[in-house]
Structure 1
Amino acid sequence: MRVTIAEVARRARVSKTTVSRVLNNKSDVDAATAIRVREVIAATGYIPSAGAVGLAKGRTNTVGMLVPGLTWPWMGDVLQGVADVLEAKGYGLLLNTVNRGADSMTQFARHVSAKAFDGLLLVEPPDTLSYIETLHESGLPVVMIDDRGHHRGFPSVATSNRAGAASAARHLAAAGRDRVVMITGPADFGCTVERIQGFRDVLVEKVLVEGDFTPEGGLAAIREVIADGVEFDAVFAQNDMMAIGALDALREAGRSVPDDVAVIGFDDITLATHAVPALTTVRQPSREMGEAAATMLLDHLLDGVPLPEEPHVVPTTLVVRESA
């Protein structure tokens, strides 16, 4: 059975607040009491929670983060940007995923109830928004990363999906490519809609195929288009993973890239530079987005700077490589 701070306080014959002050190395606890409390902690194997450590000082110096999972290709860059900012300010990070579904959310809710963190960074997992909005309305500072175009007015850091897609279309148009297959993300993602709109601001695609942001989705999309006999001279895939799948399908079909077909992705993940040929792509500034979100949240927690109602937008950049 897990030892609680209440059990430590009972055995040491002090209050929970005194235990917390000992854990925080406060100087206003007399030496004999501090020694007794530490002896009980050692004897019981008590491991303090973030809430217990922060009880006396009114904050935990910890930021919570909730993400769908860690397998998204750009998630590592987001986390590194967050960690760089938090570590520089002496803050810790309590990371939660939803890999185990309801069980994961139950554990996250326990952290919320225990006040284990001072504010929350969020890459929105499916079906969690109403709960997060309730937390925000109850006073928990929340900043969303990559708002997918859904949540205007909610504190967030986003990227310029529409402008990024438009830059890809301009690049293809300048090269005389006008028979474009666009492979989109899932239709219910705001970023999918914005990238379609941005591309169409410049150039109308010949064929649009819905994908799923996986290499398999890109492979299947191009196989389908080739099987249907569609003539095309370019592919715009709405993320790099689908673009890499598209490259595989074109290689399989004997199409030369970029001579026969130009290919552009979106994200600029590490694999983009190692694709064959190296992938032209729209760079989504994932690390900078993490840095901006963490900075926004800490400015609010430490200095009282109001969280903005409009998204903070970190711009995309077209990175030209061999595939286009």
Structure 2
Amino acid sequence: MRVTIADVARRARVSKATVSRVLNNRGEVDAATAIRVREVIAATGYTPSAGAVGLATGRTRTIGILVPDLASPWTAAVLQGVADVLEEHGYGLLVSTTHRGPDALTRFARRVSGKSFDASLLVEPPDQPSYLAELHASGLPIAVVDDRREHPGFACVVADHRAGAGAAARHLLAAGRTRPLVLATGGTRCARERDAGFAEAFTAAGHRVTHRVLPAATRESGATTTADALAAGATFDSVFAHADLPALGALDALRAAGRRVPEDVAVVGFDDSDLATHADPPLTTVRRPARSVGEAAARMLLANLEGNPFPTDPVVVPTELVVRTSA
């Protein structure tokens, strides 16, 4: 049976509050009593629970993270980067998703008000300024991944989406592709930056871009949207997807329609997930280093919890076009 703080207090003939003061070196206990309490702790092997430490120190040693969903390989890699840093420093991670809409945000807000974690990391948060303002007003330390919104107290770690999408566009243009179909995720600032970076290059070259917004950033959605565009008679010689999963879906739809990749239609994704190298053909894509982004965001939060101010400017992580055989 686990030894409790009440067991220690009873054996040391003191109150639980006194045991807590000794554990946290509060300096409010006389030396003889403190020695007796520590002897009992050593004899019983008592280890304070995270909850007990949280009550005594006001810290839970837990970070709350809010992500769009858990299906995205990129999100999973960000989470791994965050977890690596937190575990190294003895912190836990409490994950929530936004894919259920307002109800999910309400549940997350309850966790914030209940002080279930010491700080929060928001990954591609939804465009709800009032919700973000409430989080900021609560005094919760926050870092944001992949969102450039200007908001006081919000530290940002962002990939250079505009530059990455621009590199993808220039690659397609250099290959003679002039009629691109963009499979856009929509709804977030980073998605709009990818749209802008890609469209700028084609507009400057005098070409129009066909744009379809995906209902979800999934392989199935990419396949269905591409198949629908083909069935509607859309003429395109290339596909640029905002994420690798929809790009893989585009490959599926093109193959089913008898279109050769890249001879008939070139395909470019975004993220450079592990799936990209195993695609048929291997996927040309824009690499945004997810694990590095997660690590940087976690370090920013921990530094802030130690009393260091957040950086005032976004931390920008470079992207890189990785050319394979799909484009």
Question: 1:219 aligns to what?
Answer: 223
Shift of residue 243 of structure 1?
0.5
* Secondary structure of the structure 2 residue equivalent to 1:121: strand
Measured at CA, do residues 178 and 214 of structure 1 come closer, stay the same or move farther in structure 2, by a change above 3 Å? same
- Aligned pairs for 1:76-87 within 5 A: 76-87=76-87
Question: 1:269 aligns to what?
Answer: 273
Q: Distance in 2 between matches of 1:129 and 1:35?
A: 53
Contact 1:11 / 1:40 at 8 angstroms: preserved in 2? no
Question: 1:311 aligns to what?
Answer: 314
Question: 1:96 aligns to what?
Answer: 95
Provide Cα deviations, 1:57-109, integer angstroms capped at 9, x if missing partner.
55454433333442222122112211232334x23123221479648854773
Measured at CA, do residues 223 and 62 of structure 1 come closer, stay the same or move farther in structure 2, by a change above 3 Å? closer
- Aligned pairs for 1:107-186 within 5 A: 109-110=110-111, 113-114=114-115, 116-123=116-123, 126=126, 130-147=130-147, 149-151=148-150, 153=152, 154-186=154-186
Question: 1:66 aligns to what?
Answer: 66
Shift of residue 123 of structure 1?
2.0
* RMSD of aligned Cα (Å): 3.5
Contact 1:152 / 1:311 at 8 angstroms: preserved in 2? no
* Secondary structure of the structure 1 residue equivalent to 2:201: coil
Shift of residue 251 of structure 1?
0.3
Question: 2:324 aligns to what?
Answer: 321
Q: Distance in 2 between matches of 1:301 and 1:206?
A: 45
Q: Distance in 2 between matches of 1:8 and 1:122?
A: 40
Question: 1:191 aligns to what?
Answer: 190
Provide Cα deviations, 1:202-226, integer angstroms capped at 9, x if missing partner.
0144421111211122112221221
Question: Tell me, which stretches of 5 or more residues in structure 1 are unaligned?
Answer: none
Shift of residue 56 of structure 1?
4.3
Question: Tell me, which stretches of 5 or more residues in structure 2 are unaligned?
Answer: none
Report percent identity of matched pairs: 49
Shift of residue 140 of structure 1?
2.2
Contact 2:217 / 2:243 at 8 angstroms: preserved in 1? yes
Question: 2:254 aligns to what?
Answer: 250
Contact 2:67 / 2:98 at 8 angstroms: preserved in 1? no
What TM-score, normalized by structure 1, do the two folds share? 0.81
2:243 aligned to 227, 239, 243, which one?
A: 239
Is 1:279 the counterpart of 2:279 in the alignment?
no
Measured at CA, do residues 125 and 263 of structure 1 come closer, stay the same or move farther in structure 2, by a change above 3 Å? same
Q: Distance in 2 between matches of 1:247 and 1:37?
A: 62
Shift of residue 239 of structure 1?
0.9
